[in-house]
C-alpha cells in the first residue's frame, strides 16, 4: 500500500498536478486499499480537522505580517541598517543579504516571503558589486533559510501543534541555530568575495549615520523581541502574537508613512492566496496521515528503526536523511505533517528531547526549501533574479551543503538548541 501510494503521489507531482490534488488522489487510492467505504466519511472529516487547529491560525497572520513589512517600507529600513553595519566589508552586499535575512526573520515566519522581498532588491545590487547572478540568487535563497529558524516560525508552530510541545520553548531553541546559519552563510560569502577579489569599500560609515539608520530600523528591530517575549512569558498565544505583529507592522507603516489602505488590502489578498495554497496542502496531507496511522505504518517504521534507538545521534542522522530525500520531492509543509507523527515516537524511544527534535526537523524541512527539484525558495529566487531555474539548481548545492554542516553540528551538540530554552524557561 505504502509503495503504491508513493508511486501515485510522485507520479502525479511529476505530471504537474497541484500538490493538494496529487495528495487527495493519493489518499483516495490508499483508501481503496484499506476500506473503500471509509472514503465518504473519513476524507472530508480529516480534510477539515487537518486545518481546524487554533495554533495553525498563526500561519496566515505571520504571512500577513511579512507581507505588510514589504509594503510598509520596514523591509527597506532593515536593509539600510544592515548595509551600514556590514556593507563596507569585502563582499559587503552579500553580507547585507545575510544580515537582512536575520533581521527580517525576526518578524517573518516563512522563507518564501524573505526570498521574494530581499531577492528583488539585493540580487541586482550584488551583481553590480561583481557577484555572479547565480551566486547572488543562491545566497538569497540560502540565507532565507534563516527565516523559519529564527522565531517566529511557521514550521515550528506546526511541529508544536503536532507534538504538543511548547511553541515558546521551540522559538527560543531556534535562536542560536539561526545565528549559526547566518555566520555560516557569511563565511561562505566572505570566502567567495576573497576568491573573486571583490572590491572593498574604504569608506566607513560615521557613527551618526549608523545611529540614524538604527533609529529608522528600530521599530522593525524590536518587533521580534515583542513577539518572542509575549509568547515565552505566556501573555499571548502564538496566534494572538501573529495578529498583534500584523497590527504592529501596519501601525508602524502608517505612522512612518508609506502604508496606504490600498497596499494594505493587497497584502491581505496576497495572504489569502498563499494561505489557501498552504492550508489546502495541509488539509489534503491530513487525510493521508490519518490513513497511514490507521494502517499502523508509523508502528512498522518504529520497529524498523528500533535496533538503533540506543544511539540518538544515529537516529537523528537517519531521520534527517529520510527528511532530506522526502523534502526533495515534496512540499515542505506536507512533508512536515507526514513525517512528524512518524518520527516523534522513534525519537522518544531514543530519549531525544522533543524540542531538540523539533529544531532538527525544522532545519531539515527548511533545507528542503532550497533543494532541487521542488524547492519553493529556489523557484522564487530564480524568478526574482530572472535566472534560468536549471542553472540555479547547479549553483545551489554549496548552500545546501553549508546548511547540512550546521545541521550536523546541531545533531552532535544538542546544547546549541537546548541551552537558551533551559536558561530562560
Partner 1 sequence: LIGSALMAGNAVAETTINLGYNGAPDPEKNAVHVFATNLKELVEEKTDNQIQLELYPNSSLGEEQERMEQTMSTPMLNVASFAGVSPLVDEIFVSAIPFLFDDFAAARTFFDEGAYWQEVSAALKERAGIDMLAVVEEGGFLAFTNNETPISHPDDFEGLRFRAMDPSQVALYEAFGASGTPIPWTETYMALRTGVADGQMNPPMYIILGSLYEVQDYLTLANIQYSNQFLVGNSEMIAGWDDELRGAFQEAVAEANHNAREHNEEQVDSRIAYLEEQGMEVIRPSEEDLSAFRDIGQPAYLEWLEERDIEQRWIDMALEDAGMSDLLD
Partner 2 sequence: MLNTLRSRLLAISRPVTLTLAGALLSLNVAAILFGVFARYIAGGAPIWTDELSRFLIIATVMLAAGAVWSEGGHMRVGLLEKLLPAPFARLLNVYQWLLTLLIAAGGAWVSYRYALSVSMFTTSGLGISRTVPLLSLPIGFLLLTWHVLLYGPAPLTTVEDSL
- Per the listing, cell 504571512 goes with 63
CA distance 48 to 211: 50
Per CB under 8 A, 25 contacts partner 1: no
SS3 content of the chain, % helix, strand, coil (to 5): 80, 0, 20
Instruction: Figure out which of the listed residues 281, 346, 368, 400 binds partner 2, where binding follows CB under 8 A.
Output: 281
Place of cell 491530513: 286
Cα gap 362→160, rounded to integer Å = 11
**Cell numbers 531521520 label which residue?**
319
**Per-residue mark of binding to partner 1, 29-58 (x: CB under 8 A):** ---------x--xx--xx--x---------
Smallest separation, CB 174 to Na ion (Å): 8
- The answer to whether residue 383 forms part of the interface with partner 2 (CB under 8 A) is yes
413 touches partner 1 (CB under 8 A): no
Minimum Å gap between C-beta 12 and partner 2 is 8
Question: Based on CB atoms, which residue is closest to Na ion, 92 or 151?
Answer: 151
- Binding residue for partner 2 (CB under 8 A) from 259, 380, 411, 416? 380
How many other C-beta atoms can be found within 10 angstroms of the C-beta atom of residue 263?
A: 18
Buried b (16+ CB within 10 A) or exposed e, 170-192: bbbbbbbbbebbbebbbebbbeb
Please give the Cα distance from 361 to 149 (Å, whole number): 11
167 lies in the binding site for Na ion (CB under 5 A): no
Q: Which residues contact 117 (CB under 8 A, 6 or more apart)?
A: 66, 69, 70, 75, 104
Q: Which partner, partner 2, partner 1, Na ion, none, binds residue 105 by CB below 5 to 8 Å per kind?
A: Na ion
CB closer to partner 1 out of 124 and 354:
354
Asked if 67 interacts with partner 1 (CB under 8 A), we say: no
Residues between 65 and 124 with contacts to Na ion, criterion CB under 5 A: 105
Name which of partner 2, partner 1, Na ion, none residue 336 binds, using a CB cut-off of 5 to 8 Å depending on partner kind: none
List, as one string, the DSSP characters of 14-78: HTT--HHHHHHHHHHHHHHHH-GGGHHHHHHHHHHHTT--GGGGHHHHHHHHHHHHHHHTHHHHH
User: Given the complex with partner 2, which of 24 and 107 has the nearer CB atom?
Assistant: 24
**C-alpha 110: how far from chain center:** 5
Residue written as grid cell 533545507: 367
**194 to 233, contacts with partner 1 by CB under 8 A?**
232-233
**Selection from 151, 362, 177, 111 nearest residue 238 by Cα:** 151
* Nearer residue to partner 1 within complex by CB, 41 or 197: 41
Question: What residue 243 binds from partner 2, Na ion, partner 1, none (CB within 5 to 8 A, per partner kind)?
Answer: partner 2
Q: Which x/- pattern over 356-375 shows residues binding Na ion (rule: CB under 5 A)?
A: ------------x--x--xx
Chosen from Na ion, partner 1, partner 2, none, partner binding at 51 (C-beta under 5 to 8 Å by type): partner 2
Binding residues for Na ion (CB under 5 A): 105, 147, 150, 327, 368, 371, 374-375
Amino acid at each position: 500500500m505504502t509503495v503504491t501510494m508513493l508511486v501515485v503521489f510522485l507520479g502525479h507531482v511529476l505530471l504537474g498536478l497541484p500538490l493538494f490534488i496529487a495528495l487527495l488522489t493519493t489518499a483516495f487510492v490508499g483508501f481503496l486499499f484499506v476500506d473503500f467505504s471509509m472514503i465518504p466519511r473519513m476524507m472530508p472529516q480529516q480534510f477539515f480537522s487537518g486545518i481546524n487547529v487554533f495554533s495553525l491560525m498563526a500561519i496566515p497572520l505571520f504571512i500577513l505580517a511579512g507581507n505588510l513589512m514589504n509594503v510598509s517600507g520596514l523591509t527597506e529600513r532593515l536593509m539600510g541598517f544592515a548595509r551600514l553595519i556590514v556593507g563596507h566589508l569585502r563582499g559587503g552586499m552579500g553580507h547585507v543579504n545575510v544580515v537582512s535575512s536575520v533581521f527580517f526573520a525576526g518578524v517573518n515566519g516563512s522563507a518564501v516571503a524573505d526570498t521574494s522581498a530581499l531577492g528583488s532588491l539585493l540580487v541586482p545590487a550584488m551583481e553590480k558589486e561583481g557577484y555572479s547572478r547565480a551566486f547572488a540568487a543562491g545566497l538569497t535563497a540560502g540565507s532565507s533559510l534563516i527565516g523559519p529558524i529564527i522565531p517566529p516560525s511557521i514550521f515550528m508552530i506546526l511541529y508544536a501543534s503536532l507534538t504538543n510541545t511548547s511553541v515558546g520553548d521551540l522559538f527560543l531553541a531556534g535562536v542560536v541555530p539561526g545565528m549559526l546559519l547566518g555566520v555560516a552563510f557569511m563565511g561562505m560569502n566572505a570566502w567567495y568575495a576573497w576568491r573573486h577579489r571583490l572590491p572593498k569599500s574604504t569608506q566607513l560609515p560615521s557613527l551618526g549615520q549608523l545611529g540614524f539608520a538604527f533609529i529608522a530600523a528600530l521599530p522593525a528591530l524590536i518587533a521580534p523581541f515583542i513577539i518572542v517575549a509575549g509568547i515565552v512569558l505566556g501573555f499571548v498565544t502564538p496566534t494572538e502574537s501573529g495578529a498583534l505583529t500584523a497590527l504592529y507592522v501596519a501601525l508602524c507603516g502608517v505612522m512612518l508613512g508609506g502604508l496606504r489602505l490600498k497596499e494594505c488590502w493587497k497584502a491581505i489578498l496576497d495572504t489569502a492566496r498563499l494561505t489557501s495554497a498552504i492550508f489546502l496542502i495541509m488539509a489534503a496531507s491530513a487525510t493521508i496521515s490519518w490513513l497511514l496511522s490507521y494502517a499502523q505504518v508509523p508502528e512498522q517504521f518504529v520497529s524498523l528503526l528500533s535496533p538503533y534507538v540506543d544511539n540518538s545521534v544515529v537516529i537523528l542522522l537517519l531521520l534527517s536523511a529520510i527528511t532530506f530525500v522526502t523534502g526533495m520531492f515534496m512540499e515542505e509543509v506536507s512533508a512536515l505533517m507526514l513525517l512528524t507523527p512518524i518520527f516523534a515516537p522513534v525519537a522518544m524511544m531514543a530519549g531525544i528531547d522533543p524540542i531538540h527534535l523539533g529544531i532538527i526537523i525544522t532545519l531539515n524541512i527548511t533545507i528542503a526549501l532550497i533543494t532541487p527539484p521542488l524547492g519553493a525558495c529556489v523557484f522564487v529566487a530564480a524568478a526574482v533574479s530572472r535566472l534560468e531555474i536549471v542553472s540555479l539548481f547547479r549553483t545551489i548545492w554549496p548552500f545546501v551543503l553549508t546548511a547540512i554542516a550546521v545541521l550536523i553540528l546541531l545533531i552532535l551538540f544538542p546544547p546549541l538548541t537546548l541551552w537558551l530554552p533551559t536558561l530562560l524557561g
